[in-house]
Structure formats: C-alpha cells, structure tokens
Amino acid sequence: MTPSREIEMTVSGFAFGGRAVGRGPDGKVCFVRGAIPGETVRVRLTAEKKNYSEGVLASVTGPSPQRQIQACPNPCPGCSYAHVPYECELEWKQRQFRSLAEKAHLQSDLAQFMREPVGAPVRIGWRNKIRLSLEFSPGGTVQAGYRAEDNRTLIPVRECPLAQPEINDALRSGEWKKNLTGREKNITFRRTESDGVRIWTDRDAPPELLTERLDGFGEFQVGAGSFFQINPTMSGRLAAEAVRLVKAVNPALLAELYCGCGVFSILCAEQLPALRSFGIELDSGAIACARKNAELHGVSARTEFIAGDSAGMFRKRRPHGLPPGTLLLVDPPRTGLDPAMRELIGRSNAAGIIYISCAPDTLFRDLAQLENAGYRIRESRLLDLFPSTAHFESITCCMAGDAVKADSAKRTIPA
C-alpha cells in the first residue's frame, strides 16, 4: 500500500504528544496533527506501521465548532493546540495526565491524589528563550526556523508567537545575521528583564551569567547554557507549589537531586528557617550559580550544593541512607529516573519524595516502582508551563507508607 494515499476518519481525541487520533476505514489507529476531536477529516498518510498509521491533515470535511484561527502563521509542529480554545487544550492535557496514571496500574488511589490542573494566564508571548536551526544557501543567504515533523525540513520563522515580544523584535531586525560565518547550525535568543535579549550560536561561547527573575520569588543567577524554566510566570507557580508541599511535610532536611541552580532548595530554606538542605547537579556551572544564589537569598549557611552525577554522589554522601525526617526533591530530565536511581531512592529511607516532571509517561513509570518500595502518592498536579504546545509540567508528592497511614488517621479525627 502506498503511504501517500488519503483516508477519511472521525477524530476521537488528542493523544499525549498533541496529535489528534482516530481510526481509518480499516480500523487502524491514525495520528494527525491539526485536527480536533469530533471532526471528520481527510488525512494524507505519510507512514504505515504495524499497529498504527501517521499522516498530515489534507482537509476538514466536518469541522468542529471549537475550531479557531491559529495565532501562529508558521506550520511547525510545536503549537499542537493553537487551533482550539485554551479550555479545550487544558482539558485534554489533564485527560492525558490522568490516562497515563491509570495505565501505570498504581497502588495509590487515583481519585484521592489527582488534583485539578493549573492553567496558564496567557497562551502567547510567554517564552523567554527560543533556539532556531540555521540553513545557508550557496549564495550566502541564511534562513532560521524550526524543524518540521520529519526533523529535517526547515520551516523558516520570521517571528514566533510563543516568544516574548522583545525576542521577536530582535529576530525580525536581522541584526543577528551580520556576524554569521556560514558554519553555524543553530542560534539561541534568550531574554531576561535584567540582561535584555542575548543572542549566540552553537559556535559561540554563550554569556557566562544571566539574571533570571522568578515571579514572586526574586532573582537567580544562571549560566546562559544551563537549564532554567522558560515561562517566568508559570515557573513561579511551580515554585509556589513546591514550597507549599515542602511546608506541609516540614522536614528537617531537604535533599534535592538534579538541583540545577538551586531554586527549590533555596526557596524552601527561605520559607522554613529550621530547614537544612543539600543539592546535587551534574552541571558544575549550575552548582556555582546555586552557591551564589544561596548567598543572594541569605541561606548559604543552611544549604550545600555538590557537583556530580546524582546517583553516584548521593550514594557516596549517604551510603547508609538518609536520616529520619528527610524529604527528597527530584527534578530529572525527560527520561526520568534511571533504574539505579529508582532503586537507590527506594531504599533511601526518605520520609517523602516530591517529584517534578516534564514527562508524565516516565513520571508514572518511576512512581509505580517507588510504590513497590513502600511509597504512596499523596497528591499530583499538572501545571501548564507550555501553553499551546504538547508539553506540560507536573508536581507529585509521595510519602512513605507509615507516614501516609498516619496522615490518613489525622484526617479522620473530627474537627
């Protein structure tokens, strides 16, 4: 069968990852970006797998009343939900979050721990960092843009509606083209209130330090090449959730793995005067920033930051596990916790775990294993740090079995 043929199907939902999903005439599941649940669409097939097919939207034969004109003129795959109202986007993200929890066959009661999502106040103009691919023509002209669904084709971008206006101004100006040599592969635009828009390519040394502002929590030093959340407003909401959960546990010690520039440890130390914390991060530059940030926020005497592999350094520093009353906070990359780290955390004796995740599939995989070590999920919440896109963040609190039982007993005592 030729993959380029067209089929007609009715869309049944949005799959995790932002593509619409339905079934073709032969009953096979088909994924297509740009359609809406309830619509009848024609899809030009681009790939046939054993159990599913993929395609591009050819036409909408039965449009949904929810369909709206996209704010983005670029046909890139990044804005998966720009053609539906935000309420629809947030509803489907929550459905995906809940569905992945159900598929993990958790021991914890989903109805008890699943919380309402936290939506974003704006859908465009929130992103303070973008990285564009570059392509040079034989004549010396350059185009910057995002890669298409095939990860090869360049979609030229004159402006990105998700980006902050100042970044788009810099992109449109074209001044960034002047010093290019023709050998660069990508270019980064990053803006902070203190530093303005800074621009560098993969062949440049990025600025040594930038000053980021986290809404509601002040300023933090961060290396330009180091990780920091790209939505300042919603990052503040995530930080507030982390602080709330740590306060509820009220630990004596907070151990933060994958700590970056130390934001969570520092904020919690500010809010809990008796709390001591230590953080571990592979990026030595981020650890240097964490130490500076602890000084900036006045908590350096109660915080310690260590550069190194999280599992290796954790095992070295705490070979016999954590002392009583310790809370673990983890914020791993999209791949989640590796097997060695899951095993290490499972026997760490931590009273509880706060797990911040940008990938719910690996989150619930990890939580299922941690449940086997005796932990139970107390609450889990989606926060939409990446509106209009397929991505979102979440924060989950787990407690050791005895702590969960004690907490449940307290809740049964009449007021």
- Which of 268, 358, 397, 398 is an active site residue? 358
User: Which three-class secondary structure state does DSSP give residue 397?
Assistant: strand
Find all residues with CB under 8 Å of 175, minimum gap 6, and list them. Answer: none
Phi, psi of 41 (to 5 degrees): -135, 160
Report the C-alpha dihedral over residues 81, 82, 85, 90, rounded to 10 degrees: 30
Find all residues with CB under 8 Å of 129, minimum gap 6, and list them. Answer: 188, 189, 190, 191, 230
Which alpha helices (H) appear in 10-120, and where do they start and end?
86-103, 110-113
Distance CA 98, CA 161 (A): 29
Distance CA 356, CA 349 (A): 19
Q: Rg of the chain over CA atoms, in angstroms? A: 23
- How far apart, in Å, are the Cα atoms of 202 and each of 225, 230, 283? 10, 19, 18
Phi, psi of 70 (to 5 degrees): -70, 140
Distance CA 190, CA 230 (A): 9
Q: Strands 186-192, 196-201: parallel, antiparallel or unpaired by DSSP?
A: antiparallel
Contact 365, 293 (CB under 8 A): no
Closest residue by Cα to residue 321 from 355, 347, 353: 347
Find all residues with CB under 8 Å of 382, minimum gap 6, and list them. Answer: 93, 94, 97, 117, 118, 360, 392, 393, 394
- How far apart, in Å, are the Cα atoms of 183 and each of 118, 153, 186? 42, 18, 10
Question: What is the residue whose two structure tokens read 């109660």?
Answer: 302
Distance CA 127, CA 167 (A): 9
Identity at 208, one-letter amino acid code: E
Is 261 annotated as catalytic? no
Closest residue by Cα to residue 371 from 392, 346, 348, 354: 346
Q: What is the DSSP letter of 361?
A: H
Which residues does the annotation mark as catalytic?
358
